[in-house]
Amino acid sequence: MNNFLSTVENVNNAVNGFVWGLPMLILLVGTGILMTCLTRFFQISHIRHWISNTIGGIFKDSHVTAHTKKNDTQISQFQSLCTALAATIGTGNIAGVAAAIVSGGPGAIFWMWIVAFFGMMTNFSENVLGIYYRRRNERNEWCGGAMYYLSDGLGSKPGCRYIGSILAVLFSIFCIFASFGIGNMGQINSITVNMNTAFGVPSIVTGILLMILAALVIVGGLKRIASVTEKLVPFMAIIYMICAIIVCLVHIDQFGAVFTSIIKSAFGMRAVGGGIVGSGVAMAVQWGMKRGVFSNEAGLGSSVMVHSSSNVREPVVQGMWGIFEVFADTIIVCTITAFAVLSSGLVDLETGTVISDQVSTALVAEAFSTVFGKFGYAFIAIAILLFAFSTTLGWSQYGSKAFEYLFGRKNIKFYHIIFVVFIVFGATMDLTLAWDLSDTFNGMMAIPNLIGVISLSGTVMKITRNYVQRNILHQNIKPMLSAIDDIQELHERELREKLENDEVETA
- Mean pLDDT for the chain? 82
Give residues with Cβ within 8 angstroms of 209, minimum separation 6.
none
CA 340 – CA 336 distance, rounded (Å) = 6
The yes-or-no verdict on residue 1 having pLDDT over 60 is no
Question: Which of the pair, 80 or 181, is modelled with greater confidence?
Answer: 181
pLDDT for residue 273: 43
The yes-or-no verdict on residue 454 having pLDDT over 90 is yes
CA angle 42, 48, 53 (to 5 degrees): 90
Q: Give domain limits for the chain.
A: 1-475, 477-506
CA 69 – CA 460 distance, rounded (Å) = 31
pLDDT, one tens digit per residue, over 246-276 is 999 999 999 899 999 898 888 876 544 444 3
The yes-or-no verdict on residue 127 having pLDDT over 90 is yes
Question: Of 226-235, 362-371, 398-407, which one has max mean pLDDT?
Answer: 398-407
pLDDT for residue 374: 85
Q: Is the dihedral of CA 85, 91, 93, 96 positive or negative?
A: negative
The yes-or-no verdict on residue 172 having pLDDT over 60 is yes
pLDDT, one tens digit per residue, over 474-486 is 898 999 999 999 9
- Closest alpha carbon to 364 in 349, 348, 344, 382: 344
Question: Of 1-15, 332-346, 360-374, 380-394, which one has max mean pLDDT?
Answer: 332-346
pLDDT for residue 131: 93
Give residues with Cβ within 8 angstroms of 165, minimum separation 6.
150, 151, 155
DSSP secondary structure letter of residue 156 = G
User: Which numeric CATH code is attached to 1-475?
Assistant: 1.10.4160
Q: Which residues pair with 452 in a beta bridge?
A: none
pLDDT for residue 467: 94
Alpha helices in 219-254 (DSSP H): 221-250
pLDDT for residue 216: 84
- 475 and 469 Cβ atoms separated by less than 8 Å: yes
pLDDT for residue 31: 93
pLDDT for residue 136: 85
pLDDT for residue 444: 87
**pTM of this prediction?**
0.86
Residue range 283-300: mean pLDDT, rounded: 74
